[in-house]
Amino acid sequence: MSNNYQKIVKGIMYLVLVLCALMALYPLYFMLITSLKGSAEYVHNKLFIPNNPMVDNYTYVWVKGNMLRYFLNSCLLIPAGLLLYLFVCITAGFAFGRLKFPFRFALFLAVLFLMIFPQMLLSIQIFQICRKLNLINNYAGLILVWVAYFGPFGTYIMTTYYATVPIEMVESARLDGTGVYKMLYYIMVPIAKPMIVIIIVIGTQSMWSELPFSLLLLQTESLRTMTQGIGLLKGQYGLDDTILSAAILSASVVPLLLFLFFQRQITMGAYSGAVKG
Partner 1 sequence: MKIRVKVVCVLLMLIPSMMLWSAGTKEQGSAKADGAAVITIWDFKYGDVQGVQPAMNKIDDLIMKNNPGLTIKHVGQPNDNYYQLVRAAVQAGQGPDIVMFHGGVQAYEFDDYTIGMDQYIAPWRSEISEFSWAYCSEGGDGSKPVHMVPLTTQGFGIYYNKALFKQAGLDPEKAPSDLDSFMAACEKLKKAGIVPMVAGLQGDPYTIDFLFRCFVANIYGDNVKDLGTGRQNFKGNAQFKRAAEIVQEMFAKGYIDPAGTSTPYFMDAANNFAAGKGAMFVGLLSDVCHWKVFNDALGKDGVGYMPTINFPGATFKDQQVGQPAGIGYSVMKWSKNPEAAMKVVEAYARGEGNAIWMGMTGALSPNKNVDINSLGYPLVAKILEKPFVLDFNTLLLNEDANGNFDRYCAQAFVSKEITIDKFIDLCQGMLDNVQKAR
Partner 2 sequence: MKIRASRVNSQSLEPYLLIAPLLVLLLVFILYPVVANMYLSFFKWKGMGKATFIGLENYRTMFSDETFWVSIKNTMVLLLYIPLGVMLPILISAVLREGLKGWSLFRAIIYLPNILGYVIMGMISSILFRKLGPINHALAALGLESLALDWLSIPILALNTLGLVYGVWLRLGFGCIFFLAAMSGIDASLYDAAKIDGALWWRTFWNVTIPSIRFSIEFWIVLSFIEILARAFSFIYSFSRGGPGFATFTLEYGIYNEGFVAFNMGYASTWASVLFIVCAVIAYFQIVLMRKNSDVQ
Applying CB under 8 A, which residues contact partner 1? 39-40, 42-44, 60, 64-66, 76-77, 79-80, 83-84, 123-124, 127-128, 131, 137-140, 215-216, 219-223, 228, 231-241
216 binds, among partner 1, partner 2, none (CB under 5 to 8 A by kind): partner 1
Between 156 and 222, name the residue whose CB sits nearer to partner 2.
Answer: 156
* Min CB(54)–partner 1 separation in Å: 16
Q: Measured from the CB of residue 183, what is the shortest distance to partner 1 in angstroms?
A: 16
Indicate the helix (H) or strand (E) that contains 171.
Answer: helix 167-173
What residue 2 binds from partner 2, partner 1, none (CB within 5 to 8 A, per partner kind)? Answer: none
Residue number, 82 or 198, with CB nearest to partner 1: 82
Angle 119-123-127 from CA coordinates, rounded to 5°: 150
The entry of partner 2, partner 1, none near residue 174 (CB within 5 to 8 angstroms by kind) is partner 2
Kindly report the number of other CB atoms within 10 A of residue 200's CB atom: 20
Q: Pick from 208, 204, 221, 206: which is nearest to 137 by CA?
A: 221
CA 88 to chain centre: 16
- DSSP for residue 13: H
Nearer to partner 2, 171 or 221 (CB): 171
Residue 178 and residue 35: Cα distance in Å, rounded? 57
Kindly state the smallest distance separating residue 139's Cβ from partner 2, in Å.
15
Question: Which of partner 2, partner 1, none binds 240 (CB below 5-8 Å, type-dependent)?
Answer: partner 1
Measured between alpha carbons, how far is 248 from 245 in angstroms, rounded to an integer? 5
Helix (H) or strand (E) holding 97: helix 67-98
Smallest separation, CB 75 to partner 1 (Å): 11
Q: Cβ 59 to partner 2, closest distance in Å?
A: 21
> If contact means CB under 5 to 8 A according to the sort of partner, which of partner 2, partner 1, none does residue 209 touch?
partner 2
Residue number with CB closer to partner 2 (52 or 119): 119
Q: Which residues, at least 6 apart from 136, have a Cβ–Cβ distance to it below 8 Å? A: 127, 130, 217, 219
Taking the complex as a whole, the smallest distance from the CB of residue 220 to partner 2 amounts, in Å, to 21
99 binds, among partner 2, partner 1, none (CB under 5 to 8 A by kind): partner 2
Cβ-based burial of 99 (10 A; exposed 0-12, middle 13-18, buried ≥19): exposed
* Contact between 138 and 73 (Cβ < 8 Å): no
